[in-house]
Amino acid sequence: MKINKKIAISESGFVFNPTTGDSYSLNPIAAEILDMLKKDLSEDEITDALLEKYDVTASVLHRSIDEFIDTLKEMKILENE
């Protein structure tokens, strides 16, 4: 699972896909996750980092990350290796 190399991600949570011309906005946590994915952190590592930082239960976090990653795949921002 890797971020599509052509995708441009700004620090302010703005995503641009030059292939389709689509732009996306991210909320701060989504931007944080995408940043970690960019740094090749695994899903487990991302989960651990967020659990440490945020007031959230593991089940809610897992569910949220899974859903988010599915959405990224649907949008072709994430690709299976």
Partner 1 sequence: MENYNMEKLNFERPIIRKINTGISNKFGMKTEFEPIKHIDNVGVKGLAAEYGSPVFVLSEKTMRRTFNDAKRAFDTRYPKVQFSWSYKTNYLNAVCNVFHSEGSWAEVVSRFEYDKAIANGVPGNKIIFNGPDKTDDDLNTAIKNDSFIHIDHFDELYKLIELAPKHHKKPKVAIRVNMDTGIYPMWDRFGFNYENGEAWEAISKIIISNKLEFTGLHTHIGTFILSASAYAIAASKLAELAVRIKLKFHKDISYIDMGGGFASSNTLKGSYLMGIDTSPSFDDYAEAITTALINSDIDPDNMPLLILETGRALIDDAGSLIGSVVANKKLSDGRKATIMDFGVNLLFTSFWYDHKITPAQDFSHHSETTTLYGPLCMNIDQIRESISLPPLKRGDLVVVSKVGAYNMTQWMQFIMMRPKVVLIDKKGEVHIIRHNETREFVESLEEVPLHLKKAKDVNGNKHKHNGKPVEIDSKN
The site for partner 1 (CB under 8 A) is made up of: 15, 22-30, 32-33, 50, 53-56, 60-61, 63-65, 67-68, 71-72, 75, 77
- Distance from C-alpha of 81 to C-alpha of 75, rounded to nearest angstrom: 16
Nearer to partner 1 by Cβ, of 41 and 61: the residue is 61
* Burial class of 2 by CB neighbour count within 10 A (0 to 12, 13 to 18, 19+): exposed
Minimum distance from CB of 5 to partner 1 (Å)?
Answer: 18
Nearer to partner 1 by Cβ, of 14 and 40: the residue is 14
Minimum distance from CB of 40 to partner 1 (Å)?
Answer: 18
Strand partners, 8: 16
CA-CA distances (angstroms) from residue 1 to 12, 25, 28, 64? Answer: 23, 21, 21, 17
Minimum distance from CB of 45 to partner 1 (Å)?
Answer: 16
